[in-house]
C-alpha cells in the first residue's frame, strides 16, 4: 500500500471538549479535477463517531461499511472497533488490497487506521491524512497554540490554508462536529 495517499485532505481536531473532522471536496483523476463537492467525511454509530477517508473512493466506501459493522459489533467502542478493523484489514486478502486510510474520532479518542495494520493515536489531539495532510496538521497546530478560535473555526481555517497550498485540496469543505 502506498503510505502517501494523494488527492484529498482530511483533518480531525479535538479541542476544548469538541471533536471536529473536515474533508475537502475535490476528486481528481490523474491531473484532472473531475468533482469539486465530494463528501469524504461522515457521522456513524448514532452520530457519535466521525470518520473521513483518503484514497480510492470505492475502497474507502468498503472500509466505511466494514468499520460501521465493527462499531455495531463493539457497541460504539471506538478503540476496539479500529483495532479489530486494522487486524481484519491486514489479514484479509481482499481488504489488504484496498488503497485508503481512515481518520476516526469520537468525543474521547482519535485514530488513523491504515491497511498496513497501523492504528495511530495522535498525542496532540490533531490528525490529518491525504496529500494535504501535512499542511493541514501544521496549520491546525499553529492555530490551536496561537489563537482563541474554537475547534470548528480551527479546522475551517486550517483547511482553507491547506487549499491555498495543496493542488489536490479545494476549499469546498464538509465539516462534521461532535459537541
The catalytic residues are 8
Handedness of CA 56, 126, 163, 35 (dihedral sign): positive
CA dist., res. 136 & res. 114, Å (int): 19
Answer yes or no: are the C-beta atoms of 85 and 73 closer than 8 Å: no
Distance of CA 111 to the CA centre of its chain: 9
- What are the backbone angles phi and psi of residue 153, rounded to the nearest 5°? -65, -40
Instruction: Name the residue with cell 498525542.
Output: 123
Length of the chain: 179
* CB-based contacts of 165, cutoff 8 Å, min separation 6: 132, 135
Instruction: Name the residue with cell 479518542.
Output: 109
Amino acid at each position: 500500500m502506498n503510505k502517501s495517499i494523494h488527492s484529498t485532505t482530511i483533518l480531525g481536531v479535538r479541542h476544548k471538549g469538541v471533536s471536529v473532522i473536515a474533508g475537502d471536496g475535490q476528486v481528481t483523476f490523474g491531473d484532472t479535477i473531475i468533482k469539486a463537492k465530494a463528501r469524504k467525511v461522515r457521522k456513524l454509530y448514532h452520530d457519535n463517531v466521525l470518520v473521513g477517508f483518503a484514497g480510492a473512493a470505492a475502497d474507502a466506501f468498503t472500509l466505511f461499511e466494514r468499520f460501521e459493522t465493527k462499531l455495531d459489533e463493539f457497541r460504539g467502542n471506538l478503540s476496539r472497533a479500529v483495532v479489530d478493523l486494522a487486524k481484519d484489514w491486514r489479514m484479509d486478502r481482499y481488504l489488504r488490497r484496498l488503497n485508503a486510510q481512515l481518520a476516526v474520532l469520537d468525543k474521547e479518542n482519535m485514530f488513523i487506521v491504515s491497511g498496513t495494520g497501523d492504528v495511530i493515536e495522535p498525542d496532540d489531539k490533531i490528525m490529518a491524512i491525504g496529500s494535504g495532510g501535512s499542511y493541514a496538521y501544521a496549520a491546525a497546530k499553529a492555530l490551536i497554540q496561537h489563537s482563541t478560535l474554537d475547534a470548528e473555526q480551527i479546522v475551517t481555517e486550517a483547511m482553507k490554508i491547506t487549499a491555498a497550498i495543496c493542488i489536490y485540496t479545494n476549499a469546498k469543505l464538509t465539516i462534521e462536529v461532535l459537541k
